[in-house]
Copies of this chain bind each other. A is one copy, B any other.
């Protein structure tokens, strides 16, 4: 049982009876090479099954065709859908993806960023809810290509893609108002996250524009996660003057509200309307199906990836911020106030 030694560029050179660097040139589509030699090299590569060694290539100053993705975690469909979009684009461009999850440990996170930027990666996609200003500066200074996803928090002008959180929340609130609801409960997201604040803003703005009062009692703090949302739902539904509708800052929270409503023997939408945000796959499947604001998550990933690739191609293009439109999806969880 022979241990197959990895084929190097040297093996190819020998087999094709050309020099070392000629092979390199062929592999990298450089210069003009005598067609006959190029053919020999190509044949040898094919026959030997040569695959270039990325590390060596990158180390020597070449391109590794690798893009890094640092993501907080993979827990919800939210991240995963974005990941899908990224993956598609990156693969289509024949780049490879290094995936790093930080699990919220800031230390880990910056090590990851460093590893990636000083390592294989030629570009960076950052899907982190907050607090990345530390390395953004560094990246900008080093002119290292990167794109932020769903994060507008950096003051300067960092390339970023996100969704129209504010207007999405505005539309959802407006929808409820149009249905005749007056007391509309709101469960916030994690307010350190920009998107969460924007959604709150949208909610407030819709009320104000409609001439309704923003009742602080109806705004309950959440964090985008289920446990906190369950508490928030209880708090809202046990109010003496119970709201006739609830707008949760994401679907995961809205699903929690749905559960609590069921516990309280409240029928949705008859006794209470409910709106979520995100349109995760579950939203369409629960009963009643959730009215929600769709974020084009996969597209966000796709657009971010494409933006990164073009920044990598032309390092000097001015940073762009893209906001993809959200869309109100009306389903069965909302109806006119009776």
Using a CB–CB cutoff of 8 Å, the interface residues on chain A facing chain B are: 1-4, 6-7, 49, 51, 53-56, 58-59, 64, 74-75, 77, 80, 83-84, 87, 91, 96-101, 103, 111-112, 114-115, 117-120, 138, 141-143, 255, 281-282, 285-287
Contact = CB atoms under 8 A, between A and B. Distances in A.
Contact of A55 (B56, B87, B97): B56
Nearest to A79: B80
A302 to B, nearest CB: 13
A127 to B, nearest CB: 14
A112 B141 CA distance: 33
A111 B49 CA distance: 9
Given A4-B141, A54-B115, 17 more contacts: A3-B141, A3-B142, A4-B142, A49-B114, A51-B111, A53-B59, A53-B118, A54-B55, A55-B56, A59-B59, A74-B84, A77-B281, A96-B98, A96-B112, A96-B115, A97-B99, A98-B98
Contact of A119 (B54, B97, B103): B54
Contact of A120 (B99, B120, B138): B120
B141 A2 contact: yes
Contacts of A4: 138, 141-142
Q: Report the copy number of this chain in the oligomer.
A: 2
B55 A6 contact: no
A112 to B, nearest CB: 8
Contacts of A56: 55, 59
A226 B80 CA distance: 20
A181 B74 CA distance: 40
B96 A97 contact: no
A105 B206 CA distance: 49
14 contacts: A3-B143, A54-B119, A55-B56, A55-B119, A80-B80, A87-B101, A91-B101, A97-B98, A98-B99, A99-B99, A255-B285, A281-B282, A285-B285, A286-B287
A115 B285 contact: no
B51 A118 contact: yes
Which 6 pairs, one residue from A and one from B, show the smallest C-beta to C-beta distance?
Answer: A287-B287, A55-B55, A51-B114, A6-B118, A99-B99, A285-B285
A77 B99 CA distance: 18
A282 B281 CA distance: 7
B74 A87 contact: yes
Instruction: Give the interface centre of A2, A75, A99 by most chain B CB atoms within 10 Å.
Output: A99
Contacts of A84: 74-75
